[in-house]
Each structure stands twice: as C-alpha cells, then as structure tokens.
Amino acid sequence: MSHKILIVDDHLVVREGLKLLVDLNDDFETIGEAENGKEAVKLAGELTPDIILMDLYMPEMTGLEAIKEIKLKYPAIPVIILTTYNEDKLMAEGMEYGAKGYLLKDTSPENLFRTLDAAIRGDTLINSDMMARIQAYKKVEEKQRINPKIYLSGKEIEVLEAVARGAKSKEIAIDLNISERTVKARLTDIYNKLGVSSRAEAAALAIRSGIISLHD
C-alpha cells in the first residue's frame, strides 16, 4: 500500500513537479495539493495524509503557522519542510514546531524519499550540516536571552569565536569557507553591534557577556 502525500506550496509549477516526482515512486501517491497554510490545515483534516510536504513562505498562513496548527490538531501526521530558504532561524523554528525533516528544494529525489521514509517510521531525518547549524542557532539564541541587548547572527558568532582564538582573517576565511572580504565585513558588523573598534575589544566583551566561550 502506498503512502498518501499532501503537497503544500503556493507555486503551481512546484506542486506539479513534486506531484510528478512523488507519483513515480510506487511507495507514495499524492492525494491532495494546497496553495497556502490555511488550506493545508483544512486538507490535513479532510484527507488524513500519511505525510505532508510543506513550503514555508505562503499567503494567508505561512508554513510555520500551518505546522504549528497541524501538530496541535493532528499530531500523528508528520510534516516535512521543503523550501528554498536555507536559514538557520527557519530550520530551528520548523523543527521546534514539530517538523520531522527540513529539505531544500534542490535536494535529490533519493534524499527526498529517504526523508519521507524516515518520517513515516516516526524518525526525524536531517543532515548533519543542517543539524549543526540548528544547534548553533539555538546556542546563540540562548546566549542572547542572557544579554538581549546584543544581537549577533550565527555566522557572526563563528567569526567572533575564531577571533577570540587568535585566528587571522585569512585563516578564518579558509576555516569557514568564505572570502576574506566577507570575514572583514562581518567583523565590521560585529564592531558596530557591540560598540567596539577592535578585535580584542570585541572578543573581550563577547566573552564577558557570555555570547561566546573559549571552553565550549
């Protein structure tokens, strides 16, 4: 027996492409499509799908809002986020709201079906890179709750931690796989946010405020 899939995306061409892909696999079949979160919640109750593929940015009700409501009303239905947005905040919030996986729309069919299979089994499948980013984001969020007046992004935290270890811009660029210009731009943003003018001041303030720790 094939597993029933509800596809939720506000772009018709995306829904049609996903439907074609899903229906080519004998283990799955598309039983419905929704173009916004509000419609997704309605169809989740009417069609009782085995799994939902959910986009995030949609009119009327976002994917995150829909996930939250679906998990409240129909907690047994697993939801997989499938989106073009590779953002730490979205990933963390989606998983906190109960999503069983987070995939980018350029993922391979093999990875898509592997994630669907895991969700059907009740498992959460997310690749190690995404999981590391989610954990890093949560860590930053926790530190910012301690000192809410200072907001640094996860990427800025990475640069600042490297600076605190004594790494030079070129070394940081290599370690983080970004350009040296990007490192310097992030440092400038860090200085502005912290109200400092040097690497030493930035590192000292961040450590003192609990934003970073050399012993993590």
In a domain, 14, yes or no: yes
Q: 155 and 201 in one domain?
A: yes
Burial of 41 from C-beta contacts in 10 A (0-12 / 13-18 / 19+): buried
As a whole number of angstroms, the distance between CA 89 and CA 73 comes to 24
- Among 103, 130, 157, residue at a domain's last position: 130
Q: What is the CATH number of the domain that holds 45?
A: 3.40.50.2300
Across residues 151-173, what is the average pLDDT?
90
**Model confidence at 51: pLDDT above 60:** yes
Q: Are residues 160 and 185 in the same domain?
A: yes
Q: Tell me, yes or no, whether 154 lies in a domain.
A: yes
State the chain's mean pLDDT as an integer.
87
Number of structural domains, the chain? 2
Q: How many CB atoms lie within 10 A of CB 4?
A: 16
- Return the pLDDT at 202: 87
Question: Token pair for residue 21?
Answer: 């892909």
Q: In the prediction, which pLDDT does 80 show?
A: 94
Regarding whether 152 and 50 lie in a shared domain, the answer is: no
Question: Is the separation of the CB atoms in 37 and 55 below 8 Å?
Answer: no
Residues 67 and 160 in one domain: no
On whether both 100 and 167 belong to a single domain, the answer is: no
Over residues 124-145, mean pLDDT: 69
d(CA 190, CA 67) in angstroms, rounded, equals: 34
Residue 166 has pLDDT above 80, yes or no: yes
Q: Tell me the pLDDT band of 143, cut-offs 50, 70 and 90.
A: low
Residue in the structure block whose two tokens are 């600042």: 160
Task: Tell whether 174 is covered by a domain.
Answer: yes
- CA distance readout (Å), 19 to 67, 72, 97, 101: 20, 26, 25, 19
In this prediction, residue 148 carries a pLDDT of 47
Domain that holds residue 38: 3-130
Q: Using 50, 70 and 90 to split pLDDT, how confident is the model at 84?
A: confident
End residue of a domain, out of 130, 164, 189: 130
Partners of 5 in the beta sheet?
30, 51
Cα 199 to Cα 3, 18, 68, distances in angstroms? 55, 48, 41
Alpha-carbon distance 163 to 159, whole Å? Answer: 6
29 and 105 in a common domain: yes
Does the pLDDT value for residue 121 go beyond 50? Answer: yes
Q: Residue 193 maps to which CATH number?
A: 1.10.10.10
Q: Answer whether residue 215 is part of any domain.
A: no
Per-residue pLDDT at 141? 67
